[in-house]
A and B are shown apart, each in its own frame.
Chain A
């Protein structure tokens, strides 16, 4: 039986990808950001999953305004890193897991979540920057990845409550897969940031840290927070944080199991326009 072993949460700032790709990680500006992931890289080596279910958002890369799926699951055999206007990132092609992805799609749709199934898509920094942060610069990513794209570009994005419930459905789907697979679920994006208008550059470290506290200890209550609080307190793009609730909803305690173990917690301001937050939660054995 497949099972979810851990969840990982991290920001996915494009400038972090550029810093890695251009060899700037040791510069004084970037060093504190990457130091926060030293533990995580070792943890990934020690706890290599068989599959990563990676929740992220597309930034007007694979999806233009022609098509705006709220929830899209990638069922392809592979996904190419996208050219976002600066040339594609020099990172490995993302190998998918079509069998598990299709199984999850079928199970979750039968569980009343209307997913869009995507058999061809390039993946942007939203997906590849978290992989780089957690895995460094390998020749190939350590395992197959199932991309799960959430619309956070055009308002309204899905509510935190909906995301949290979706995570629970994903957990049920994974657990009903016969093959014995260790699956990690990652929630990415955030933390507080605003990229537009005279309020660009907004950072709310206090709110972000309270978000981390609540995500760990009381995710059900956190999932009730309305969109407007994210926008007002964490900036217009801080609303990406609803994606973290999908990963959190898939953890064992939400289904009546033991509380997760907090293996790592990190917060830093700034990376470009954004507050960087990062958590690793393990399900108790």
Chain B
């Protein structure tokens, strides 16, 4: 019998379960290695070379090089482990979280100050909230993708 996964219908969310953990084991352990200052230096000096020391998939390595955290998570990364890459880059947790939405740092910060993202429309896949797949990316990246300017109008 398959494992019960009642969380697959939560939009914009990857639950780090046993299956994701298996998939991302080496990716996450690579991240963990960045807890040591010496390893951070070696990684920064030559990222590709450092990644090649780990038995990660090419896809995982590319996602790390691109700092595409959504892709890293889809490939088994966990946010607390991926945060070590962000720390190596000198990013705050808020900058890392924001990078997964398409919003700029200022947009994401403003959303949080205004009370955060509403759960309305964001509880189940298929609703119309701002975290739903059909509304990605959000913020500036979304406007750019739609050819709109900052005011939301087509140029």
Contacts and interface: CB of A to CB of B under 8 A. Distances in A.
A60 B97 contact: no
Contacts of A231: 7, 10, 13, 15
22 contacts: A59-B80, A60-B84, A65-B28, A65-B81, A83-B37, A84-B87, A85-B35, A155-B18, A195-B79, A195-B93, A198-B12, A198-B138, A201-B112, A203-B112, A203-B116, A204-B119, A232-B124, A236-B15, A270-B116, A272-B94, A273-B94, A275-B116
Interface residues of A, number: 45
Contact of A60 (B80, B100, B101, B113): B80
Interface in B97-155: 97-98, 100-102, 108, 111-113, 115-119, 122-124, 131-133, 136-138
A25 interface: no
A272 B112 contact: yes
A14 interface: yes
A197 interface: yes
B48 to A, nearest CB: 21
Chain B, interface size category, equals 35 or more
A272 B93 contact: yes
A48 interface: no
Main secondary structure of the interface of A (DSSP, over half): loop
A59 B11 CA distance: 24
Contacts of A86: 87
A205 interface: yes
B64 interface: no
A202 B87 contact: no
Given A197-B70, A205-B115, A228-B7, 6 more contacts: A65-B28, A85-B83, A86-B87, A197-B100, A204-B119, A273-B94
Interface of B: 6-7, 10-18, 21, 25, 28-29, 31-32, 34-35, 37, 40, 69-70, 73, 78-81, 83-84, 87-88, 92-94, 96-98, 100-102, 108, 111-113, 115-119, 122-124, 131-133, 136-138
B116 A196 contact: no
A61 B131 contact: no
B119 A236 contact: no
Contacts of A155: 7, 15-18
Contacts of B94: 15, 272-273
